[in-house]
Amino acid sequence: MAKTTKKRRGPQPTAKAELDVPVRVGQTVEVEMTGLNHEGAGVGRIEGYTLFVAGALAGERVRARVEHVKKNFGFARLVEVARASAHRAMPPCPLYDRCGGCSLQHLNYEEQLRHKQQIVRDNLRRIGGFQVEGEGAITVLPTLGMSEPWRYRNKAQVPIGEENGALVGGFYAEKSHSIIDMSECLIQHQANDEAVNVVKKLATELNIRAYDELHHTGLLRHVVVKVGVKTGEVMVVLVTTEESIPQRDRLIAAIREQLAGVTSIVQNINPDKTNVIFGKKTVTLWGSDVIYDYIGPIKFAISARSFYQVNPTQTEVLYNKTLEYAGATGTETVIDAYCGIGTISLFLAQKSRHVYGVEIVPEAIADANRNAKLNGVENVTFETGPAEVVIPAWKEKGIRADVIVVDPPRKGCDEALLATILEMQPERVVYVSCNPSTLARDLKMLAELYEVKEVQPVDMFPHTGHVECVILMEWRGEPK
């Protein structure tokens, strides 16, 4: 009789246990909204369980359909507003409920500003452990907003696709790469909308195919437009999969003829299977390699790939507050960590003895030096490298900072840089932040030696959940 063996059986799959929460996916619930989160979604609770409802406002009672649940919180889609907030506004954008880019259009603008001030307060209290109310509290000033909070963006990056034989461009539908065509965006400068519409029409007429990311075919991937708000100059960037463009000369001539203000037409070649917009190679097809714009009195050259603040009106507000907090009188030495293309450095140089800027991206330092030369500013020095390495090296050379300014990315400051600041002990630290949560974390560490004197929120991106801040910190020790 042949010997038989039994197959060993591993752990058998079991049905996924349902979470012990008071709601279930697909259920329609009625819930009282008590606040807004940092992304602008309404926050409500059912039997103590937190439910986030996009489109709902604090003080409203809404009906919502539960779409996703986790152990401590869930997400629901707004079905009906049973009792509306007095602060509810009618979104003027016809694509508002499909786009998701402006998550606060349904909240009137004055209340948006109050909400952003509260978001900053909440993060300072919850993450930083700071007192934000009562005697001895940190001063968080009212958010500085815009008198006209529309049409403020000076840059558009629009993916291109095809529909019924014509090119379309707009935004991706939620949780997909299906492009929803749009002819205008109410937070974009009108020149951006005009340029994108012109390119879509002309490329369709000239039979230039859009890129199909699924099959990796076609040519035109994105249209990127940049506008100098003060100068009126417009740059059109065509992001393509290969260098050759069918009927290129006709396309360039037609763009020049039909688009007022265009001074630069650029091509960027990106042949890779990626969702990154730009490739490594950029060529100028017509006109200048750059356009120019001003923030206050400072002139900046903007290339196809260089970083430049997208709301120059509010950037001037932000930088003037930075200059004020720096307290520069003409005798101070200032270090600008994360200096980028030198925007803050050049502002600070107006009233400082000397400004030292450091940035890890070599191309940004090249732009910073070009912008300093463009403005005839000689009391600045830029260096490439990590701030936490370069700044101590400057200290070894005898460079002592009276003020250190940091303007980090959303992830906040490198911990080594914060330690360097504490070791350098400048009289003042000015922190420019685009993320209240990492700001609160970093201020907690700096508070070992520095007192947070004032926090000024600035609304750089109206109708979105984002808020920027400028913070003044002063050294607690004896005068040096």
175 contact partners, CB below 8 Å, separation of at least 6: none
> What is the Cα–Cα distance from 380 to 396, expressed in whole angstroms?
19
Sign of CA dihedral 108, 109, 114, 115: positive
Whether 413 is catalytic:
no
> What is the Cα–Cα distance from 183 to 200, expressed in whole angstroms?
10
Give Cα 288 to chain centroid, integer Å. 27
End-to-end Cα distance, the chain: 96
Is 309 part of any known ligand binding site? yes
Contact yes or no for 199/236 (Cβ under 8 A): yes
> What is the Cα–Cα distance from 452 to 471, expressed in whole angstroms?
7
Is 188 part of any known ligand binding site? no
Helix (H) or strand (E) holding 470: strand 468-475
Is 212 part of any known ligand binding site? no
- The DSSP code for 184 is -
Is 27 part of any known ligand binding site? no
- The DSSP code for 173 is P
Query: Could you tell me which residues are beta bridge partners of residue 239?
Result: 222, 268
> What is the Cα–Cα distance from 443 to 446, expressed in whole angstroms?
5
CA distances from residue 218 to 210, 211, 283 in whole angstroms, order as listed: 5, 4, 20
Helix (H) or strand (E) holding 64: strand 61-69
- Cα Dmax for the chain: 101
> What is the Cα–Cα distance from 95 to 108, expressed in whole angstroms?
18
Active-site entry in 99, 185, 413, 434: 434
Q: Show the DSSP H helices in 156-284 as ranges.
A: 190-205, 248-258
> Which amino acids are annotated as binding site for S-adenosyl-L-methionine, given as ranges?
309, 338, 359, 407
Give catalytic residue positions: 434
The annotated binding site is made up of 309, 338, 359, 407
